Amino acid sequence: MREIRVLLLSAALVGVQGCAASEGSSAPTISAGGVATGGGSSQGGTPSGSGGAAGSGAVPAFAPCTGDAATFEAFAAKVWTDLQAHGVTGGGLSVVCGGATVFATGLGNAKKGGPPVTRHTRFQIASNTKTLTAAAALRLAEQGVLGIDDPVAKWLPVVNTSKPYAQGFTLAQLLSHTSGYPAGIDTALYQDLKASFEANAGVELWAPPGAVFNYSNDGYAMAGLVLETATGKPFGELIETEVMKPAGMLDARMDAAVVKSEGNYAVGDSSWDGQSYEPTDGYLAMPYYGPMGGAWASADDLAALAVTFLSGGGGLFGQESLAKMSAARTPTAWEARSYGLGLFVDELGEVRVIGHSGSVAGFLSSYSIVPSRGLAVALVVNSDAYMPYASDLLDQVALAFSGSALPAATPIPYDAKLRAEHAGNYQSNTLGAMAVSDVGSQMQLVFGGQTMALVPTWRDSYYFNYQSMDLDATFWRENGAVKYLVTPYGVGARQP
């Protein structure tokens, strides 16, 4: 699966005997009770959530975890060796097995030459915040504060929710990236969430609501404003009280200034611009960024979130809300992967995997959950250069801790015969005329005076290099026929 990383500043969008501690690094250690820690932490397992709308129904029964401390040490050592080989300074790793957190550890250092990472060290988790935003919406819906299917215009009448199309979009469509709202606003006001959308009220939709999946950070910023408007509470406070606390995410914070003052955080090491990122540097603390990616959390926190989901919603919300959140609502631009509400959904045969990943200057993070098996793995690192996604670690976790591998995904292969269906002219209200042609050896995309090769990845999806970035181009069908061309910079409607 290709993951595209775009700087929000531009608004364009493993068998080792064990981790031998060396100067400037920290080896995982096992504390009393069999819970892995790092850097001298000796706290126990993940606390359960408390307060709020309790989940309903019986907690699922999972097969017991077969892994032990030695199994985890070998797994963590393998991951850390891999990270070190790629120049990563530090990270946090956690494993959930049998529906409970069994291990969590710190790897390496919170910054170059700095203190060791522990299981409670906070990292900027970027787009994993989207899961928290969606969870807040579902919890508020249970409380009767708003409706998931509310038209956004009900809460934000100043914002254009229909032009140039006839129908408006809903909160659920924002949370599933199907609203048609742009994926990048050059004039966003990062310091003020409400003022930004007021100033950009006339921004036109890229596609009709519900027509295509188009991953939109700005759409999640708008969803955050809907939650603020409906509750009268600042978004950060809302997430901390309504999601983080009931989910048992005790280290997590939304306010970067609080993270800085409290300490025990990782400093981001960016290969994109060569800079180091403290919590209050750059746009990481800005209100506009909050709903799409502003959360700071530890490996322990992501394990707690997974345990909450595996327990049918725990103290966060009920099983019906969890089912709504984790249902595959729309296919995505990525092979064999769907999206729900703030969650990616992979169908591996009869096994469903849910989770998310995050990428921002100086940090990468990812978590994956197997609801039917009570398994989860999370990884956070203070680097944007490399990290194996949690979904890629799941097979190792499944084998090591449950004794059974996960089935493989069944991809939809690319067929060159589809070229004739993809070729044609498309019109975008942001990119203008877009021409796709079959030149014999490859497909080409032309817009803005530039000609770019389209490299196939799966059935209806390609990628192209634009301004030194590899970007997805996906042909979207309606009633079986290609109707739209979706890119991170605009959506083109096929012309007759």
Nearest to 302 by CA among 382, 380, 358, 398: 380
- Report DSSP letters for 84-142, one per residue: HHTT--EEEEEEEETTEEEEEEEEEBSSTTSPBP-TT-BEE-GGGHHHHHHHHHHHHHH
The sign of the CA dihedral 199, 205, 209, 215 is negative
The sign of the CA dihedral 414, 387, 46, 250 is negative
Nearest to 267 by CA among 357, 379, 131, 380: 380
Taking CA 89 as the corner, what is the angle to CA 293 and CA 366, rounded to the nearest 5 degrees? 35
pLDDT at position 484 is: 98
The label of the residue with tokens 């877009």 reads: 434
- Rg for the chain (alpha carbons), in Å? 22
How many CB atoms within 10 Å of residue 416?
9
CA distance 332 to 214: 8
Residues written for the chain: 496
Nearest to 64 by CA among 438, 404, 384: 404
For residue 144, give Cα distances in angstroms to 230, 319, 341.
Answer: 10, 16, 18
Percent helix / strand / coil, the chain, rounded to 5: 25, 25, 50
Tens-of-pLDDT digits for all 496 residues of the chain?
A: 222 222 222 222 222 222 322 223 333 333 222 333 333 232 333 333 333 334 444 567 899 999 888 999 999 999 999 999 999 999 999 999 999 999 999 999 999 999 999 999 999 999 999 999 999 999 999 999 999 999 999 999 999 999 999 999 999 999 999 999 999 898 899 999 999 999 999 999 999 999 999 999 999 999 999 999 999 999 999 999 999 999 999 999 999 999 999 999 999 999 988 999 999 998 788 999 999 999 999 999 999 999 999 999 999 999 999 999 999 999 998 888 999 999 999 999 889 999 999 999 999 999 999 999 999 999 999 999 999 999 999 999 999 998 889 998 887 888 989 999 999 999 999 999 999 999 988 999 999 999 999 999 999 999 999 988 999 999 999 999 999 999 999 999 999 9
Q: What is the DSSP letter of 166?
A: S
pLDDT at position 132 is: 98
- Report DSSP letters for 434-446, one per residue: EEEEE-SSSEEEE
CA distance 415 to 411: 12
CA distance 67 to 255: 37
CA distance 99 to 126: 25
How many CB atoms within 10 Å of residue 113?
9
Domain architecture of the chain: domains with CATH? 8-133+235-402 (3.40.710.10), 416-494 (2.40.128.600)
CA distance 131 to 325: 9
CA distance 318 to 139: 8
Amino acid at 428: S
Amino acid at 160: N
Nearest to 295 by CA among 339, 342, 344: 342
CA distance 108 to 88: 8
Half-sphere exposure of 325 (CA within 13 A, CB side): 29
The helix/strand/coil state of 424 is strand
4, 360 Cβ separation under 8 angstroms: no
CA distance 426 to 160: 23
pLDDT at position 36 is: 36
Compute the CA torsion angle 53, 54, 56, 57 (nearest 10 deg). Answer: 170
Cis before 371? omega within 30: no
Which residues 6+ apart lie within 8 Å of 369 measured at CB?
A: 96, 306, 309, 310, 353, 354, 355, 375, 376
Entry pTM:
0.89
CA distance 7 to 292: 13
